Amino acid sequence: MAKLNFGGVEENVVTREEFPLSKAREVLKNEVVAVIGYGVQGPGQSLNLKDNGINVIVGQRKGSKTWDKAVADGWIPGETLFEIEEAAQKATIIQYLLSDAGQIATWPIIKKHLTPGKALYFSHGFGITFHDKTGILPPNDVDVILVAPKGSGTSLRRLFVAGKGLNSSYAIYQDATGKAKDRVLALGIAVGSGYLFETDFKKEVYSDLTGERGVLMGALAGIFEAQYNVLRKNGHSPSEAFNETVEELTESLMPLVAENGMDWMYANTSVTAQRGALDWRHKFRAATEPVFDELYKSVSSGKEAERVITTASKPDYREKLDAELKEIRDSELWQAGATVRKLRPQNN
């Protein structure tokens, strides 16, 4: 395990060089890994595990759209694809990758099959951290571990197929067998992580919920809408407003940030852009930091978890979600985006 220094703060990280795939295969050679759920993370993690030579099966509800998707992806009913309970019974490691609401609903079935020596694997700290709300309390004689890829399952799979990796955090909540660390690192490498950095279940879910509601999704969408609206109110066309708000960011500037950092991106833009960005970033930080403080308090207090559980458990949740997403999709901003995407050279 390497120690990386981030401005005086040391972190434990594990790279593919330190824990190669050959070692992961050796650790997992006698394990049966059951991936429970085939929604967001399930497809990417299970397919990567299979391609890396790990003995993996999938557990999913028969007759569902995700069951059909698993079949289309090459999982064979009765051989590598089973109903959730049968997969859990066969497994020595249960990768619990259902949605948070799905985990709550299915927990009695999973708990029944957590016999001594097994491992329960999460990719999100929600169920364990907020166990007073979710009811998810594993028995003391199983390992409880976490590998959380820092991106969607789709990205995890795409990068794996391209020979790359998506960074992941890892954590050990309970080491009942003495093998939890080897198990979690082996699984982290085998699902396609670029490197693994250490955390705990609570920090993972606090940072994850804050990030999703903040910069990664919620704040970004809100800022897009605000800037687009201001440009349109001041007479700019939809095409101009969208390109200056979204297209240039996603297609030009963010790849530069990903490549070498924000300062390098600034250094490779015009002096006019540099000066304006450097001056105005302080105003945006001052304006938004109180909102992020409020957000983090809402996450750490459990209010966000309570809202997720209450809302997602309602029978009409999916219907209301579809309506919310339709409102975004049908807005002028994202209709302009759909048009602009069709005009990209690679789509012609």
- pLDDT of the chain along its 348 residues, tens only? 677 777 778 888 899 999 999 999 999 999 999 999 999 899 999 999 999 999 999 999 999 999 999 999 999 999 999 999 999 999 999 999 999 989 999 999 999 999 999 999 999 999 999 999 999 999 999 999 999 999 889 999 999 999 999 999 999 999 999 999 999 999 999 999 989 999 999 999 999 999 999 999 999 999 999 999 999 999 999 999 999 999 999 999 999 998 999 999 999 889 999 999 999 999 999 999 999 999 999 999 999 999 999 998 889 999 999 999 999 999 999 999 999 999 988 644
What is the CATH architecture of 2-199?
A: 3-Layer(aba) Sandwich (3.40)
One fold for both 2-199 and 211-347?
A: no
Q: Answer whether 168's CB lies under 8 Å from 150's CB.
A: yes
SS3 assignment, position 175: coil
Q: What CATH class is the domain 211-347?
A: mainly alpha
DSSP-derived pairing of the beta strands 2-6 and 119-122? unpaired
DSSP-derived pairing of the beta strands 193-198 and 9-15? antiparallel
Residue 333's CB is within 10 A of a number of other CB atoms, namely 21
Q: What pLDDT is recorded for position 346?
A: 67
Helix or strand run (H / E) with residue 82: strand 81-82
Q: What pLDDT is recorded for position 113?
A: 97
Residues annotated as catalytic (active site), given as ranges? 124
Q: Which of 120, 114, 115 is nearest to 93 (CA)?
A: 120
Residues near 227 by Cβ (< 8 Å), separated by ≥ 6?
241, 244, 245
Q: What pLDDT is recorded for position 247?
A: 95
Q: Measure the CA–CA gap between 97 and 152, rounded to whole angstroms.
A: 12
Q: Give alpha helix (H) positions in the chain.
A: 21-28, 42-51, 65-72, 84-90, 100-112, 126-129, 131-134, 153-161, 180-190, 201-213, 218-233, 238-242, 248, 254-260, 262-267, 271-300, 303-312, 317-330, 332-343
Domain ranges of the chain: 2-199, 211-347
Q: What pLDDT is recorded for position 348?
A: 45
Q: What pLDDT is recorded for position 298?
A: 97
Amino acid letter for position 84 = I
